Amino acid sequence: MPFMAWASAEHDLEATTSYLVQSRSEWDSGENFGYAMLTRRDDVVGACTLVSGRGPDVFEIGYWVHSAYAGKGYAMVAVSALAEAGLGQPGIDRVEIRHDVDNRASGRVAAKAGSHEVGSLKASKMAPGDSGTHLV
């Protein structure tokens, strides 16, 4: 939650369903591709997205995992699957993860999924934990 201004402990299946309904138009336009991560009992694990807009040949991976499921490998599996799916699309040469330099958990997820750090950049501070620097 420190790195996501919208995140709350109350995020549930209804909120995730609403996110997916809203993202339908983005799927239809080929803009972004959002997925819910659920258990077999429909408990919300998190969500992940392939995001366009960084350039014609790039997707960015966005994800979050509910704190009850953090550290159990869900994010790494989602990131790996999204990277494979993104790189499998025509014209896509690169898939990026950008995370706050202070968000060490996201750094570990990226590394475990096989990503390599290529640099840093200034970023807007949008959540309480944001440092203003993202790693790519």
Whole-model pTM: value is 0.81
Domain boundaries, the chain: 13-135
- pLDDT of 28 strictly over 80: yes
Confidence band, pLDDT 50/70/90 cuts, at residue 9: low
Measure the CA–CA gap between 94 and 83, rounded to whole angstroms. 9
Contacts by 129-135, CB closer than 8 A, 24 or more apart: 129/2, 129/3, 129/100, 129/102, 129/103, 130/3, 130/100, 130/102, 131/100, 131/101, 131/102, 133/100, 133/101, 134/98, 134/99, 134/100, 134/101, 135/98, 135/99, 135/100, 135/101, 135/107
Measure the CA–CA gap between 28 and 64, rounded to whole angstroms. 23
Superfamily of 13-135 according to CATH: Gcn5-related N-acetyltransferase (GNAT) (3.40.630.30)
For residue 52, the one-letter residue type is S
Percent of the chain residues topping a pLDDT of 90: 43
pLDDT of residue 87: 95
